[in-house]
Chains A and B, each alone.
Chain A
Amino acid sequence: MSAANGVFAVSWPRVQSTGARTLQRERQLNQFLAEVERRALRVAEIAVRDRDEALDLVQDAMIKLARNYATRPETEWTPLFYRILQNGIRDWHRRQKVRNRVMVWFGRGKAGEDEYDVIASAPDPAGRAPDDELQTHEAMQQLERAIRELPDRQREAFMLRTFEGVDVAGTATAMGCSEGSVKTHYSRAVHALREQLGEHWS
């Protein structure tokens, strides 16, 4: 009887602390994901040019991070998350290439490119005037087009450093390359973008 009580006394606080740790980890991960999800979505959207696909990619990255790396130190989450996301984007591009080859083989072009998009044509729920919207969107659309023209590695380096605010070391981890390569890709990307957009952009 006393032995049983002893076991209970030893194991109960342990279970309790494990539960508390899990809860705390969940709260930290929730906060981290809430901070990065919007920017990650826009980065993915710029890379794949499709919001639904971008949403799927971001969700997959969040699930993989939670499933495999939740117990890693919080400081490692940012580069790990973006590495997962960038891998997802690269896989997506590979699949698209295969899909496009198959479509060409069967004599079908990309479906739906010229279709009328009801959602895109709907009025802005925030009530902004079309002229204002046009002005604000135009610069970003130009930038997005220019970013898509960049080679993959330059695009990744530029978006991670500029849009996500990841430091050089974190970007190197996310891209799976050296810090020197990150600096080179980033510098070339900035140069190419400035050249393409011109001095009077934005």
Chain B
Amino acid sequence: MKKTGRNEEFVSQARKQFDDSVERLDAATLSRLNQGRHRALAELQTAKPLGQWLRWAPAAGIAVAAVVTVMVMNAPAPTVTDKSITATDFEMLLEDDSLELFEDLDFYTWLQSADLEANSNVS
């Protein structure tokens, strides 16, 4: 309780010192503050407050949703392109299974050469 009282006394004294220093501000400083305030008030004539823009947010959201819906509905069916094939190939290579493929590569090479040999014998 005593400590709280001393704290309050200290804070009150600090506030008084601060108020005195505010009162001692010179005329030149006060003039510059005044100018700054009027510059700020001039902003009111030109400013577009955030609220004005936010007012249109729901309408803008609906418009964007409508455009996206139309685009999705009119979009052509997906086609297989060289790029998509390349992407698919990469995906397959990056899968864990592909490591096994590399490990058995010798076997597949042998299999292919054996097939070629058999075909040449038949013909």
Interface residues of A (CB under 8 A from B): 22, 25-26, 29-30, 33-34, 37-39, 41-42, 51, 55, 58-59, 62-63, 65-72, 125-126, 136, 139-140, 143, 162-163, 190-191, 193-194, 201-202
In the assembled complex, B2 has its CB within 8 A of some CB on chain A: no
13 more contacts with CB within 8 A, not counting A194-B7, A202-B13, are A25-B44, A29-B44, A42-B22, A55-B33, A58-B33, A63-B39, A66-B47, A67-B49, A71-B51, A162-B11, A163-B15, A190-B10, A190-B11
Give CA–CA (A64, B119) in the complex, Å.
Answer: 83
Give CA–CA (A58, B44) in the complex, Å.
Answer: 17
Smallest CB–CB gap between A150 and chain B, Å?
12
Q: A55-B29, A58-B33, A125-B27 are in contact. Are A67 and B17 (CB under 8 A)?
A: no
Smallest CB–CB gap between A155 and chain B, Å?
13
Give CA–CA (A66, B8) in the complex, Å.
Answer: 35
Name A's interface SS. Answer: helix
List the B residue with the shortest CB-CB distance to A32: B37
- Are A70's CB and B44's CB within 8 A? yes
Q: Residues of A contacting B51 with CB < 8 Å?
A: 71-72
Out of B7, B17, B27, which one reaches A139, CB within 8 Å? B17
Kindly list the 3 A-B residue pairs having the minimum CB-CB distance in the complex, ordered from nearest.
A59-B36, A62-B40, A66-B43
Q: A26-B44, A68-B49 are in contact. Are A59 and B17 (CB under 8 A)?
A: no
Task: Give 15 CB contacts A-B under 8 Å.
Answer: A29-B40, A29-B41, A37-B33, A42-B18, A63-B43, A66-B40, A67-B47, A69-B49, A140-B18, A143-B17, A162-B14, A162-B15, A190-B7, A193-B10, A194-B10
Q: A136-B20, A140-B17 are in contact. Are A51 and B29 (CB under 8 A)?
A: yes
Number of B interface residues at 8 Å Cβ cutoff, please give it.
32
In the assembled complex, B25 has its CB within 8 A of some CB on chain A: yes
List the B residue with the shortest CB-CB distance to A52: B32
Q: Residues of B contacting A59 with CB < 8 Å?
A: 36, 39-40
In the assembled complex, B97 has its CB within 8 A of some CB on chain A: no
Q: Residues of A contacting B40 with CB < 8 Å?
A: 29, 33, 59, 62-63, 65-66
Q: A70-B47, A70-B49 are in contact. Are A143 and B14 (CB under 8 A)?
A: yes
- Are B17's CB and A42's CB within 8 A? no
Q: Residues of A contacting B10 with CB < 8 Å?
A: 190, 193-194, 201
- Are B44's CB and A22's CB within 8 A? yes
Smallest CB–CB gap between A69 and chain B, Å?
7
In the assembled complex, B83 has its CB within 8 A of some CB on chain A: no
- Are A140's CB and B13's CB within 8 A? no
- Are A38's CB and B20's CB within 8 A? no
Q: Residues of A contacting B20 with CB < 8 Å?
A: 136, 140
Give CA–CA (A39, B27) in the complex, Å.
Answer: 15
Q: A38-B30, A66-B44 are in contact. Are A30 and B15 (CB under 8 A)?
A: no
Q: Which of B43, B50, B51 has the most CB of A within 10 A?
A: B43
- Are B33's CB and A66's CB within 8 A? no
- Are B37's CB and A62's CB within 8 A? yes
Give CA–CA (A162, B21) in the complex, Å.
Answer: 14
